Amino acid sequence: MKKQEKVEFVINKLEELYPEVPIPLDHKDSYTLLVAVLLSAQCTDERVNKITPKLFQLADNPFDMANQEVEKIREIIKPCGLSPRKSKAISELSKIIIEKHHGNVPSNFLDLEELPGVGHKTASVVMAQAFGHPAFPVDTHIHRLIYRWGLTNGKNVEQTEKDCKRLFPKELWNKLHLQIIFFGREYCKARPHEPKKCPICTMAGRASLFN
């Protein structure tokens, strides 16, 4: 199966399995999404969704969050892991959003990536899911699948993101990102992984007889 055939197969299979894809992290606006995505680093979305209701009850906007003690934020988010770093980042980015952006989450990559605790992947998720800007957020899980499917030889998420943006139509990026997440959780887990039972690896994966 040639690479472009794989691309078409992946697009069609994901659309067949996941015609509608909800955003996994519970949020009500760009600010709460930004905080939720930051918390999801090295933490499951399920756990984040259990913690954010209490956090957002305390403060669900940068003005209220900036007034909270970092230690109070830390105590709430502790189950997410990396709580010292994350709580400090949430406090600091809230103050910067107020001081530099009039209380609004910036809607461009440059300003987002300047916020404490916000890397390119987090910024990409916010740009795609909060502002509808075409982006293809790639974390280690998406990197694993794209590599398994033989669509990248990249050794890191940066190269895999470039390959995804080159191979997939721009208008599909935001939805594909979510579809791949859901597919990975249901069919293409890190361990155990059985290619013969995976609807995509069976036909388009590196171990496939169709390569």
Quick check: is 151 in a domain?
yes
**Any catalytic annotation for residue 139?**
yes
Catalytic-role residue among 78, 121, 162, 197: 121
Quick check: is 125 in a domain?
yes
Residues 94 and 173 in one domain: no
Model confidence, pTM: 0.90
pLDDT digits (tens, 9 = 90+) for 113-123: 999 999 999 99
Residues 87 and 68 in one domain: yes
Q: pLDDT tier at 211 (50, 70, 90 boundaries)?
A: very low
**Any catalytic annotation for residue 163?**
no
CATH (domain of 194): 1.10.1670.10
Q: CA-CA distance, 84 to 155, in Å (whole number)?
A: 30
Average pLDDT over residues 54-82: 97
State the residue range of the domain holding 52: 30-129
Residues 148 and 177 in one domain: yes
| The domain boundary residue, chosen from 82, 110, 129 | 129
pLDDT at position 203 is: 86
Catalytic-role residue among 72, 139, 196, 197: 139
Quick check: is 167 in a domain?
yes
Write the single-letter amino acid at 203.
M
| The domain boundary residue, chosen from 86, 113, 129 | 129
Q: pLDDT tier at 210 (50, 70, 90 boundaries)?
A: very low
Q: Which of 73, 27, 71 is nearest to 49 (CA)?
A: 27
CATH (domain of 87): 1.10.340.30
Query: Alpha-carbon torsion 194, 196, 197, 198, what sign?
Result: positive
- The answer to whether the CB of 23 falls within 8 A of the CB of 46 is no
Residues 61 and 144 in one domain: no
Q: pLDDT tier at 206 (50, 70, 90 boundaries)?
A: low
Quick check: is 210 in a domain?
no
Residue 137 reports pLDDT greater than 60: yes
Quick check: is 211 in a domain?
no
Secondary structure of residue 42 in the 3-state scheme: coil
| The domain boundary residue, chosen from 80, 95, 129 | 129
Residues 45 and 122 in one domain: yes
Residues 62 and 35 in one domain: yes
Residues 145 and 198 in one domain: yes
Overall domain count for the chain: 2
